[in-house]
Amino acid sequence: MINGSEDGLILASVEAEYNAVSIHGSQHGVTVTNSTVTFSDCVFIGSPMYMTRTGIHLGSPSTVVLTRCLIVGSSYGIVSYFREHSLNISDCSFFNNTISAIHLDHSGTDALTPATLLLHRNLFSGNTRAVHVVQSVATDILVEAINNTIEFGSVSEESDHVSVPVSGIDINLEDVGSRARLTLQKNTFRNLPYRAVSISRCHDSPLLSNHSTAITENNFTRISQTAVVLRCMDSAATLIQGNTFLQNVVNVGSSCLNLSSRAVGGRSSIQLRINRNEFRENSGTYVGNIVGLPPGGVSSLSEFVSNTLVDNFARDSTIYSNYSDLSMHLNTFSNQRTRFELQVGFPTDQVVNCTFNWWGVSTEAGIATRIFDHSDMASVGSVLYVPFLNSSQFSCAELSDCSGHGSCVYQDTCLCDAGWSGLDCSAYSCVDVYDCSSRGQCIGPNLCQCDSGWLQPDCSTASCVIQRNCSNRGVCSLPNV
C-alpha cells in the first residue's frame, strides 16, 4: 500500500504487472510514461487535500490494461493530455470522480498506433462524466464500449464542478485519420440528469471508408436530457439498432434521439440506418429529432425501419424530420397522447416515402390527422404514406406466435413482454434489472442469479458478507472489499 505520497507510483519506460496494489491519498496515484503496464485488483483512492488529483496519469504513449480495479474520489480517474494511448479496461469500478472518470485529450502527433479505448463490463457511478474523449489530431481512433453500466449514483459533495451534471459517454472528433470506429453495444445508461451519449464527428477528413459509429442493443432509462446526440452524421456511416429508450423525461433538449448534420467537405453517400429500436413512455418536444441533412446527403441505404414507438407523450410530434431522403417503413406508431406521429420540415417540393407503417389508426383520414406535412402547412413538403398497414395484428406463425410471451407487431416480428427476449420471445430477458449489471446470469424473466459477491435483484450492489459487512464501520465498494 502507498498512502499519502504526493506522487504515488511513477512508471517510466518499463514493462510491469501489478496485483492488489492500493494507493490512497496521492495527487497522482500512478504516473505512466512510455510503458506497458497491467494492473489487476488494484485500488486508487483520491484525497481532498489536493485540488486536482488523478488515479492514473498518462504521459507519453503507453499501453495500459486494468482488470477488476477500483478508482474512486479523484478529480480524474484516468487522464491523458496530448498523447494517444492504448487502454484496455474491464470489470473495473469508477465511483465519484468529480470531473471525469476517464478523460483522454488526443492532440499529439507522434502516435505510431491508433488511439484505443476498450471498455468492457465496467461500472461508472456518480462520476461527473463517465468518459470524455477529445481528438483534434489526424490519427486513427478506436473506441469500443460493451456491457458497461453508467448511472447517477451519488456525486461527491466536495466537487468544484457541480455546474456540470452527471453524464455518460462524450466523444468529440475534431479531426481523425483514415480509421475512426466507435462502437457502443449492450451498455446500460440509467438515472442520468444529463446526456447518456454525445458524439460529435465534425471533422474534414476526406477518407471515409473506415469511419463508422454503431450504437446497438443499449438500454437508456430515465435520462433527463437528450439521451443520444449525434452531430455531423454525414462524416461517417451510422448504425442505431436494437436499442431500448424507456421512461426518459427530457426536460432539457428536444428529444430522446437527436441526429444532426452539416455539409462536411461537400461529401455525400453516407449510410444512416435506424432499425429495430424501441421507444416507450418517453417525453420531450419530440421522441426522435433528425435535422440538418441536405438533400442527397446520405445514400439510398439510409432508412428508419422496423422501429416501435408506443405510449410516448412528446409535446409536438413523435418524430420530426427535415430530411426527405430518409425513408420510413414497417414502423409501429401508437402514441395517442402526442398530437402528431410525424412532423416534417423539408422544402415544399420534396416528398418523403413513409409507406407500410402502422400509425395507430386504420383509415387514411385518420392517418392524415397524425402526420403534419404539406396538407397542414404550404411551406413544407409532403409525406407519402399510402399504402399503409391497416392493422396492428400480423402473422407470427413462423415465430410460434411469439411463444405466448409477446405481441406480433408486424409480419414475423414480435414485441416481447417484459422479461422475455429473442426473435420468438422464448428467451429470458433481464433488461428491467439492467441485464444483471453484467455480474450475473439471467435465469428467469427479470430474475438474476448473481455472481459471488453481488446482490439481487440486479447484481449492482456488492456484498461483504465474508468481511462481516465491514463490521458496520465502512462501505462495501467491491465484493468483500
Q: Does 109 reside within a domain?
A: yes
Q: Does 381 reside within a domain?
A: no
Closest CA to 275 of 319, 308, 324: 308
Q: Does 17 reside within a domain?
A: yes
What pLDDT does residue 301 have? 64
On whether both 182 and 242 belong to a single domain, the answer is: yes
Confidence class of residue 353 from pLDDT cuts 50, 70 and 90?
A: very high
Looking at 4-8, 258-262, 387-391, which range is the least confident one?
Answer: 4-8
Q: Give the model confidence (pLDDT) of 126-165 as tens digits.
A: 999 999 999 988 889 999 999 999 998 754 444 443 344 5
The average pLDDT across 66-79 equals 94
Between 165 and 59, the higher pLDDT residue: 59
On whether both 478 and 399 belong to a single domain, the answer is: no
Rg (CA), the chain: 24
What pLDDT does residue 409 have? 66
Q: Does 372 reside within a domain?
A: no
Backbone angles phi, psi at 472, to 5 degrees: 60, 25
Length of the chain: 481
On whether both 415 and 331 belong to a single domain, the answer is: no
The average pLDDT across 401-423 equals 82
On whether both 249 and 120 belong to a single domain, the answer is: yes
Confidence class of residue 1 from pLDDT cuts 50, 70 and 90?
A: low
Confidence class of residue 345 from pLDDT cuts 50, 70 and 90?
A: very high
- State the CATH number of the domain containing residue 139: 2.160.20
What pLDDT does residue 362 have? 81
CA–CA separation, 414 and 400 (whole Å): 10
What is the residue range of 476's domain? 430-481
Q: Does 352 reside within a domain?
A: no
The average pLDDT across 104-113 equals 77
Cell readout for 98 is 468529480
Indicate the pTM of the whole model: 0.81
What pLDDT does residue 445 have? 94
Confidence class of residue 265 from pLDDT cuts 50, 70 and 90?
A: very low
Q: Give the model confidence (pLDDT) of 220-237 as tens digits.
A: 999 988 999 999 877 778
Q: Does 281 reside within a domain?
A: yes
On whether both 109 and 177 belong to a single domain, the answer is: yes
* Cell 458496520 -> residue: 472
On whether both 462 and 322 belong to a single domain, the answer is: no
CA–CA separation, 9 and 303 (whole Å): 51
Domain edge (last residue) among 427, 453, 471: 427
What pLDDT does residue 114 have? 85
CA–CA separation, 164 and 154 (whole Å): 14
The average pLDDT across 409-435 equals 86
On whether both 324 and 400 belong to a single domain, the answer is: no
Checking if the pLDDT of 123 tops 60, the result is yes
What pLDDT does residue 273 have? 92
Spell out the SS3 assignment of the chain.
Answer: CEECCCCCEEEECCEEEEECCEEECCCEEEEEECCEEEEECCEEECCCCCCCCEEEEECCCCEEEEECCEEECCCEEEEEEECCCEEEEECCEEECCCCEEEEEEECCCCCCCCEEEEEECCEEECCCEEEEEEEECCCCEEEEEECCEEECCCCCCCCCCCCCCCEEEEEEEEECCCEEEEEEECCEEECCCCCCEEEECCCCCCCCCEEEEEEECCEEECCCECCEEEECHHHCEEEEECCEEECCECCECCCCEEEECCCCCCCCCECEEEECCEEECCECCEEEEEECCCCCCECCCCEEECCEEECCCCCCEEEEECCCCCEEECCEEECCCCCEEEEECCECCCEEECCCCECCCCCHHHHHCCEECCCCCCCECEEECCCCCCCCCCCCHHHHHHHHCEEEEECCEEEECCCEECCCCCEECCHHHHHHHHCEEEEECCEEEECCCEECCCCCEECCCCCHHHHHCCCCCCCCC
Domain edge (last residue) among 335, 358, 379: 335
What pLDDT does residue 262 have? 65
Looking at 77-86, 176-185, 245-254, 379-388, which range is the least confident one?
Answer: 245-254
Q: Does 377 reside within a domain?
A: no
What pLDDT does residue 159 have? 40
CA–CA separation, 222 and 245 (whole Å): 9
On whether both 462 and 415 belong to a single domain, the answer is: no
Q: Give the model confidence (pLDDT) of 299-335 as tens digits.
A: 556 899 999 998 899 999 999 998 888 899 999 998 9
What pLDDT does residue 209 have? 59
On whether both 304 and 404 belong to a single domain, the answer is: no
Q: Using a pLDDT cut of 70, give the percent of the chain over it.
A: 86
Looking at 8-22, 195-209, 293-307, which range is the least confident one?
Answer: 293-307
Cα dihedral 174, 177, 183, 188 sign: negative
What pLDDT does residue 315 have? 92
On whether both 253 and 216 belong to a single domain, the answer is: yes
What pLDDT does residue 406 have? 82
What pLDDT does residue 266 have? 46
| Structural domain count of the chain | 3
User: 61: cis peptide before it, omega within 30°?
Assistant: no
Checking if the pLDDT of 410 tops 90, the result is no
Checking if the pLDDT of 238 tops 70, the result is yes
